[in-house]
Chain A
Amino acid sequence: MSILEYAWLIPVLPLLAFVIVGFLGGKMKDNGAIVAVIGVGGAMVLALWTAFEVLTTGVVYKPESMEWVVLSSDYSMEMGVYIDSVAAMMLIVVSFIAFLVVVYSTAYMHDQGKRQRRYFTEICLFVGVMLGLVLANNFLQMFIFWELVGLCSYLLIGFWFERPAAARAAKKAFLVTRVGDVMLMIGLFLLFTEFHSLNYELIWGNLTTADQTTLAFAGFFLFGGAIGKSAQFPLHDWLPDAMEGPTTVSALIHAATMVNAGVYLTARAFPIIATSADVSLFVAAIGGITAFIAATMALCAPKIKGVLAYSTVSQLGYMILALGTGAFLWNQGHHEAGSLAFGAGLFHLMNHAFFKGQLFLGAGSVIHYVGTEELSKMGGLGKYMKVTSITMLISCISIAGIPFFSGFWSKDEILAMTFEATDVNLWFLLLWIMGVATAFMTAFYMFRMWFMAFKGEPGEGTKHVIEHGGHHHEAPIAMLLPLVILAALAFGSWLSLFIGDGFYSVINVEGEFHALSIIERLEEVFSSPLTWVSIAMAGGGIALAYYTFNKRRISAENVVSKGFPKAMRQLLLDRYKFPVAYDKIGYVGVYGFSLLLDKFDRYVIDGIVNGISKFLIKAGGVVRKSQTGFVQNYTTLLLLGVSLIIVLLYVVGALR
């Protein structure tokens, strides 16, 4: 009897908590917080245990799946569980961060009163369906949960629905990701017609015999789903708006878990994408472009959560870049390099989930303390928020890519693999340059945020809080503990590379590769000039931020006060006009087309229906004149009719 047989319980526990909190939460003293903690905590224990079992034994757990819908003897849909090392890693990330965030929320959402019931209900639903998404053994089941996490995202972004901005952001997130979901559905249809099933293993196993054009299109459209969910260019614009939700939601859904679903989908579709060099290159290019443009937008974001949101988009771009590069290398026959890049992408996913989750929770702690999101109103907070500032510093160093912090290992690996692909295709040189530039900007904007918030002169918000003496404590222990734990992981999650076969089995897509020991890995990493390039970039970014926003040797205000930098800054604040473009497409394109359809409906469809009824009314008007009301007319006609029938019968009878 192994724990794996209970793996199906992992999503069930939070869903149970969802039902309990949803119906009874209002009657509880803490509005169901404790039930949520227990439900998600139970799921975490089970998930960690399951993941441990799968990762240490290296066994892929795939029990007999249940037939769900049988369309005919060879078309069927199923429900089942599939846990390989990728799913196991996702289980660890999702369940662990979800648990910490729920614990954090019990303190963070405390002032929300009765509304907490709704919050915890939706969070439990989200955790349950997200874990269900990870456990699915086929694309359809994944898609169902995929839509459900989208729903939870919508509900939680719009948690403060009475604020117009939040309501708008929720709608935008829902609609923009829906564009990706339609693409994903098209991909699923293509796969279903080709393979008659959507089971992962069945599809992966029959790729060589399938129609390659269909596969290329299927890979492309599946990736379209990932573009929407993981906020990739050009559908990235919903994520910055999604920051209207509570900060805990941003941490859990829009940094650590749900947005990773797109990367997870791309990882699941990896063998399909890898069948086509063009699609692989497309994936890598989208990743590279997203990483770059999102990083530029983060450079001058005025709000602390805005910086983190753009940073999330940018880091997701890195992951997609890694997966695309991996697929391309795999397609070109470099299987080992391809799977290393694949692993690097997922490794970055894990590291990013930890440090970005930490950063968001830290930002939550800051906002909780100063009561504003504007970076310019903070400043000098480091003195009053020791734990928050130090833990956030660790995460900032990690995301910037300073050696021995986890972010360094995965980002360096991604850039190294991208550079390696340059040998095969020169486009990757451009992507590599973009990646390196992004690394520089990442270091810069993260430390800009950190210095602006925690160092320098106390800003408006800081002064206000200190003068009024409201909070002398920085945050309750339930908020600080998750920060510390996540900061430890933001530093230390790279060690998973060396725990037995542990993380390395994620890196292997298939086949046996030599797992490097610590010494070998250090040698390999630090003997490469590329590593020094990325370290230099990170160091340069941090130094620039230090001189600009801490020492104030360089005046940021002067730089952006005129000319090209000013115009550029405005463009970045306008997010490259993407929101305007969305509105244009929405109003002119979609709304215009809808108006056209409305006209068609009004004049053509309604015209036909109304025309028929008008004709019948007119015809009735003519025919009813025969109803004279004179009894004798009726009688005459009746008699004539009967006589006619008799005569006819007689004639017919005679003719027989």
Chain B
Amino acid sequence: MNIPLEYILVLSSSLFVIGAAGVILKKNIIVVLMSIEIMLNAANINLVAFSTYYGDTTGQVFALFSIGVAAAEVAVALAILLNLNKQKKTVDIDEINLLRW
């Protein structure tokens, strides 16, 4: 039995919006990072869903790549955050505005 594509799309867009809301609204920078991961996974779900829908495995391979890249990215991001935390002694994103004018 196949799950209709629409269901999966609704799921992925819901996840995406939740992630976006988290990125925009959350004050804790760790949570913001996690929200970004949620958005990434929404995209991955889309890739897999369309891959199955068209019967083409390329999308699934891409999803694997995407997860791999995301892992690397999170590693880098966490390293940056760790250093940032050492300097600023905070995880509040509103406190971190080094790149302003």
Q: In the complex the two chains form, what is the Cα distance from A636 to B21 in whole Å?
A: 9
Tell me the minimal C-beta distance from A645 to chain B in angstroms.
Answer: 15
Q: Does A209 contact B (CB under 8 A)?
A: no
B101 engages A630 (CB within 8 Å):
no
Question: In the complex, what distance in Å separates the CA atom of A632 from the CA atom of B93?
Answer: 8
> Contact at B23–A635, with CB atoms within 8 Å?
yes
CB–CB B24/A629 < 8 A? no
Alpha-carbon distance between A154 and B31 when the two chains are bound, in angstroms: 84
Tell whether, in the assembled complex, residue B24 and residue A630 are in contact, meaning their CB atoms are under 8 Å apart: no
The answer to whether B98 and A629 have CB atoms under 8 Å apart is yes
Interface residue? A656 (CB, 8 A): no
| A631 neighbours in B (Cβ, 8 Å) | 32, 93, 96
A627 pairs with B99, CB closer than 8 A: yes
From A628, A631, A639, name the one whose CB has the most chain B CB atoms within 10 angstroms.
A631
Q: Beta-carbon contacts of A58-78 to B below 8 Å, as 1s and 0s?
A: 000000000000000000000
Give complex CA distance A636, B25 in Å: 9
- Whole-angstrom distance from the CB of B80 to the nearest CB of chain A? 12
Contact B24 A627 (CB under 8 A): no
With both chains docked as a complex, state the minimum distance between the C-beta of B55 and any C-beta of chain A, in angstroms: 28
Residue pair A629, B97 in contact (C-beta under 8 Å): yes
Q: What chain A residues lie within 8 Å of B101 (beta carbons)?
A: 624-625, 627, 629
The docked-state distance in angstroms from the alpha carbon of A628 to that of B25 is: 16
Q: Which of chain B's residues 10-55 have a Cβ closer than 8 Å to chain A? A: 20, 23-25, 32
* Alpha-carbon separation in the docked complex, A632 to B96 (Å): 11
Q: Report yes or no: A628 in contact with B23, Cβ–Cβ below 8 A.
A: no
Measured between alpha carbons, how far is A195 from B99 in the docked complex, in Å?
Answer: 71
Closest B residue, CB atoms, query A639? B20
- Is B99 a contact of A629 with CB atoms below 8 Å? yes
Q: Contacts of B86 on A, CB cut-off 8 Å?
A: none
Q: B68 to nearest A CB, angstroms? A: 24
Interface flags, B82-100, vs A, CB<8A=1, else 0: 0000000000011011111
Cα A627 to Cα B98 in complex, Å, equals 11
Q: Using Cβ atoms and an 8 Å threshold, which residues of chain A touch B32? A: 631-632
A12 to chain B, nearest CB (A): 70
The docked-state distance in angstroms from the alpha carbon of A628 to that of B99 is: 8
Task: Tell me whether A629 and B93 are in contact (CB under 8 A).
Answer: no
Chain A 404-428, CB within 8 Å of chain B: the 1/0 string?
0000000000000000000000000
- Partner pick for A632 among B23, B98, B99, B100, CB 8 A cutoff: B23
Residues of A within 8 A of B96 (CB): 629, 631
Determine the residue in chain B with the shortest Cβ distance to A636. B24
How distant is the Cα of A584 from the Cα of B71 in the complex, in angstroms?
85
Q: A630 near B23 (CB under 8 angstroms)?
A: no
Pairwise interchain contact A628-B100, C-beta atoms closer than 8 A: yes
A292 shortest CB reach to chain B, Å:
79
| A635-B23, A636-B24 known; A628+B97 contact, CB < 8 A | yes
Q: Which residues of the partner chain B approach A628 to less than 8 Å between Cβ atoms?
A: 97, 100
Whose C-beta in chain A lies nearest to the C-beta of B94?
Answer: A630
A632 touches B24 (CB 8 A): yes
A437 to B93, CA, bound (A): 104
Report the separation of the CA atoms of residues A625 and B100 in the bound assembly, to the nearest whole angstrom: 8
How many Å lie between the Cα of A639 and that of B25 in the bound state? 13
Q: Contact between B93 and A630 (Cβ–Cβ < 8 Å)?
A: yes
A627 CA / B97 CA spacing, docked (Å): 10
> A90–B97 Cα gap in the complex (Å)?
87
**What is the CB-to-nearest-CB distance from B21 to chain A, in angstroms, rounded to a whole number?**
10
Once the chains are docked, how many angstroms separate the CA of A629 from the CA of B101?
Answer: 7
Instruction: Tell me if A639 and B99 are in contact (CB < 8 A).
Output: no
Distance in Å: Cβ of A622 to nearest Cβ of chain B: 11
User: Is B100 a contact partner of A629 (Cβ separation < 8 A)?
Assistant: yes
Q: Which residue of B lies closest to A628 (CB)?
A: B100
Interchain CA distance A353-B97 in the complex, whole Å? 89
Contacts of B24 in A (CB 8 A): 632, 635-636, 639
B99 contact set on A, CB distance < 8 A: 627, 629
Contact with B along A602-637 (1 / 0, CB 8 A): 000000000000000000000011011111100110
Q: Report the bound CA distance from A19 to B98 in whole Å.
A: 68
Extra contacts, 17 of them, besides A628-B97, A630-B100, A631-B32 (Cβ < 8 A), are: A624-B101, A625-B101, A627-B100, A628-B100, A629-B96, A629-B97, A629-B98, A629-B99, A629-B100, A629-B101, A630-B93, A630-B94, A632-B23, A632-B24, A632-B25, A632-B32, A632-B93
A selection of 14 A-B contacts at a CB cut-off of 8 Å is A625-B101, A627-B101, A628-B97, A628-B100, A629-B97, A629-B101, A630-B94, A630-B97, A630-B100, A631-B32, A631-B93, A631-B96, A632-B32, A635-B23
What are the 9 closest A-B residue pairs judged by CB atoms, nearest first?
A629-B100, A629-B97, A624-B101, A627-B101, A629-B99, A636-B24, A635-B23, A630-B97, A632-B24
